[in-house]
Structure 1
Amino acid sequence: MKIKPTIDIVASWIKSYVPQKDLFFLSADDLERKLDLSSVLVMPKDEFFEHSVYQQPDYVNSYEYWNIKNAQYVIVAESTWIEQLDAEERRFILAAQQKHERGLVAPASFIQNIAQIPSDYIQNEHVILQSHMWEQLDWACKEQLLITMVYEWWDNGECEEAPNALPVFLKPYANKFCAQQGANCLAAVLYGISEGKQPWFIGEWVHQKTFIEKLRQYKYRLTDVDDLRSGDVAIWNDENGVIQHAAYYIGQNLFFNKHGQTIFNPWKLLTKETLYKEWANLKVAVYRQGED
């Protein structure tokens, strides 16, 4: 089966996808150009990436920090600042965002009604999204772009039908897109092993040490098994022992799974074969509750 985001989910994406404060990533060479930066903050990259405000999931995921290349500085600006620059400066800064592979940049071909996009925001056949500009687009244009981005870049929506015996606590989430940034695979597993008794777990961005400690608290232990039981947890580690993925086994050859921590990564039911094939380059370990 193939899932798609509901109207309510799309509405939440439209509201939150583009942060209200604009970030522009520039190289040292970019900054040699004479730009009027009197009304913005210019942060060195190392300081920016340690800033508690700008490490929040909404910023990290929308701007896709992990993809950014060759930028040494970050401009932090109010949403109307870019509009106050002369056209040449505005085009230069916007083009730099595509050059440095920042998030909130999409191919122009993804937008059916390209006439809605102000020409300065189309650079090198890409559309650069910013807060004030996003607010001016109509609902249909935003919806169409976001859904196109999901299926082209993030998730094709393919998953397995929920079995009749699906645990009740998974029904609100299985084969559904999420509304908030940050909920990751480790959080989905912790929600699963709590059997829904800790509903807030599923919305967290859980890191490795926290995850392992919670498995221990729930009496999960590493086990050497070929068969899987309902409630088992599969973990994929890289060569350095860093967890790259985890999923919760529900039985009937199905896992409750979430790839990634963005709003565009749904909680899905996937077969064991699908999941093991996707992570075949990593070592899998199985944890089971109550094992010595």
Structure 2
Amino acid sequence: MKTTIQPSNDQMKKWIEQYVPAKDLFFVKEEHVSLFEEEILQALFIPEEEFFNHASYKQIQLANSYEYCNLSKEVEFVILAHANWITKIAPAKKEILLQIQVQMNRGLIFPRSYFPIGSLPLNEKGVINSEGESVVLYADLWEKTSFSAKAQLLKKYAQQWDDWGSEEVPVYLPRIIKKYANTFPIEAGSNCLSATLFAISQQEWMIHEWIHPQTFIKKLRMTHHLIKSEELIEGDVAVWETDEGQIQHASFHVGNKLFFNKNGQTFFNPWKIIGFDKLQAEWSQYSLKLYRQK
């Protein structure tokens, strides 16, 4: 039977606390530097290559919030600033900086329609672009936005990352898997590979890890072997790979063609129960391999 997942109030509070980082990042090209020479004296100005190789800025929540994967290839520098830095910039320069963020395709940018009427400070101007009026979020603005407006925005936005529809949790699931099935994380990092290894091992700490493909396949092969059969039994693991053998997704079969599954590593991606046909449709461009417990 179909059901719809909803984040709990506690989960929403955690999302709101973590989603907009406490320090601001602004992505620019070298030609923009001269526009902010005086302002940059109160911030850090980091070359793009150094920024993306710096351990501090590789944190998963920074990468998810600012959507590093979608940034323009034209980014050459990153301004790292304290939360109140942008509030001290002249309004005209602030508007230019926020417009640049739209051009650089930075994360934390939303249509103004995502915000309830009257929920933004009166002096907060939207950025006009090809898609209409957008709001570029930064730490100080997020702090001044009401809880209800933040919750409404995140609920709307989260559903762009993942479908909140799922199958009901089977009654026969082990208690430890039931605890997480059809729920949302409160922190970023957990992905499909950690969810699968958790379901196999039922070691709770493992579900919160951000596991990469080589670690996953080595661990999987300790307990499971590749099979040729297309007949699913409880405990099987489905793995979708590219033609070159790169793992794109994995999921754990809990029985009756239902899988314990997670898409992506954001806290907007729930751990949920999903049917095999739907999984196959989502990952049909890749080759399916089945692994069975030894």
Smaller-chain TM-score range?
over 0.9
Q: SS of 1:177's equivalent?
A: coil
1:32-71 Cα deviation digits (max 9, x unpaired): 4343211111111111111101101110111111011121
Q: Is it true that 1:96 corresponds to 2:104 in the alignment? A: no
| 1:120-159 correspondence runs (5 A) | 120=124, 122-124=126-128, 125-151=133-159, 153-159=160-166
Q: Is it true that 1:287 corresponds to 2:291 in the alignment? A: yes
List runs of 5+ in structure 2 lacking aligned partners. none
Question: Which residue matches 2:214?
Answer: 209
Q: CA deviation at 1:155?
A: 2.2
1:67-91 Cα deviation digits (max 9, x unpaired): 1112111111111111111111111
Q: SS of 2:268's equivalent?
A: coil
Q: SS of 1:188's equivalent?
A: helix
Q: CA deviation at 1:220?
A: 1.4
Once residues 52 and 172 of structure 1 are traced to their aligned partners in structure 2, the CA distance between those partners, rounded to angstroms, is 33
Once residues 174 and 62 of structure 1 are traced to their aligned partners in structure 2, the CA distance between those partners, rounded to angstroms, is 25
Question: Which residue matches 1:186?
Answer: 193
Question: Which residue matches 2:46?
Answer: 43
Q: Structure 1 residues 192, 273: CA separation in 2 closer, same or farther (over 3 Å shift)?
A: same
Preserved contact between residue 213 and residue 247 of structure 2 (Cα < 8 Å): yes
Question: Which residue matches 1:81?
Answer: 85
Residue type at the aligned position of 1:242: Q
Question: Which residue matches 1:30?
Answer: 32
1:145-183 Cα deviation digits (max 9, x unpaired): 1111112x1123110011121222211111111100111
Once residues 147 and 14 of structure 2 are traced to their aligned partners in structure 1, the CA distance between those partners, rounded to angstroms, is 12
Q: CA deviation at 1:13?
A: 0.6
TM-score with structure 1 setting the length: 0.94
Preserved contact between residue 87 and residue 120 of structure 1 (Cα < 8 Å): no
Q: SS of 1:116's equivalent?
A: coil
Q: SS of 2:26's equivalent?
A: strand
Q: Is it true that 1:273 corresponds to 2:281 in the alignment? A: no
| 1:109-258 correspondence runs (5 A) | 109-117=113-121, 119-120=123-124, 122-124=126-128, 125-151=133-159, 153-194=160-201, 196=202, 198-217=203-222, 219-258=223-262
Q: CA deviation at 1:188?
A: 0.2
Q: CA deviation at 1:114?
A: 4.8
Q: State the percentage of identical aligned residues.
A: 39
Q: CA deviation at 1:110?
A: 1.2
- 4+ runs of 1 displaced by more than 3 Å? 117-121
* Greater mean alpha carbon deviation, residues 162-171 or residues 127-136: 162-171
Preserved contact between residue 113 and residue 141 of structure 1 (Cα < 8 Å): no
Preserved contact between residue 126 and residue 135 of structure 2 (Cα < 8 Å): yes
Q: Structure 1 residues 31, 232: CA separation in 2 closer, same or farther (over 3 Å shift)?
A: same
Residue type at the aligned position of 1:216: R
Q: Structure 1 residues 29, 265: CA separation in 2 closer, same or farther (over 3 Å shift)?
A: same
Residue type at the aligned position of 1:183: S
